Chains A and B, each alone.
Chain A
Amino acid sequence: MDILLKENWIKLPQKNGDPPHLLGGRCQVCGFCCFPYRFACSKCRRDDSMQEVALGPRARLETFALMQVGPPDIPTPYIMAYVRTKEGALIFTLVTGCEVREDAVHLGQEMELVLEKIKEDENGNNLIGWKFRPVAGGPQ
Chain B
Amino acid sequence: MSRLARDVCLIGVGMHKFGKFMDKGLKELTRVAVWNAIRDAGLNPQQIQAAYFANVLGGLTTGQEAIRGHIFLREAGFERIPIVNVEGACASGTMALREAMLAVASGLYDVVLAAGAEKLYLDDTARSIQAMATNTDIETMGGMGFQFTGAYAMSLKKYMKNYGWTREHFAKVAAKNKYNGSLNPNAQYQKPLSVQEILDSRMVAWPLSLYMCSTMADGAAAAIVCAKELAGGLGQKPAINIAACALQSGLVSPDDDGQKSVAQEAYEMAGLGPLDIELAEVHDAMAPGEMFRLVNLGICGPEEVADLVDGEHFSLAGPLPVNTSGGLAARGHPIGATGLAQVSELVWQMRAEAGPRQVRGRKAAYPRVGLAQNSGGYLEGSPAALSVTILTR
Contacts and interface: CB of A to CB of B under 8 A. Distances in A.
A21 to B, nearest CB: 16
A34 interface: yes
Interface string A59-81: 00001111111111010001011
A107 B204 contact: no
B60 to A, nearest CB: 14
B178 to A, nearest CB: 20
A118 B253 CA distance: 24
A28 B252 CA distance: 17
Given A65-B149, A80-B150, A90-B253, A71 B133 contact: yes
B280 to A, nearest CB: 26
B203 A68 contact: yes
A92 B146 contact: yes
B380 A90 contact: yes
A95 to B, nearest CB: 10
B275 interface: no
B205 A42 contact: no
Contacts of B203: 68
For chain A, what secondary structure do more than half of its interface residues adopt (helix, strand, loop), or is it mixed? strand
Interface string B371-387: 00000000011000000
B74 interface: no
B139 A71 contact: no
B252 A42 contact: yes
Contacts of B129: 71-72
A35 B253 CA distance: 12
A78 B149 CA distance: 13
B260 interface: no
Contact of B157 (A32, A43, A64, A84): A64
**What 10 A-B pairs come out closest when comparing CB atoms?**
A65-B150, A65-B153, A63-B154, A90-B253, A72-B126, A74-B145, A65-B205, A92-B141, A80-B150, A65-B154
30 contacts: A34-B380, A42-B252, A43-B252, A63-B155, A63-B157, A63-B158, A65-B147, A65-B149, A65-B150, A65-B205, A67-B147, A68-B204, A68-B205, A71-B145, A71-B147, A72-B126, A72-B129, A72-B130, A78-B145, A80-B145, A80-B146, A80-B154, A82-B154, A82-B381, A92-B146, A93-B144, A94-B144, A94-B145, A102-B206, A118-B144
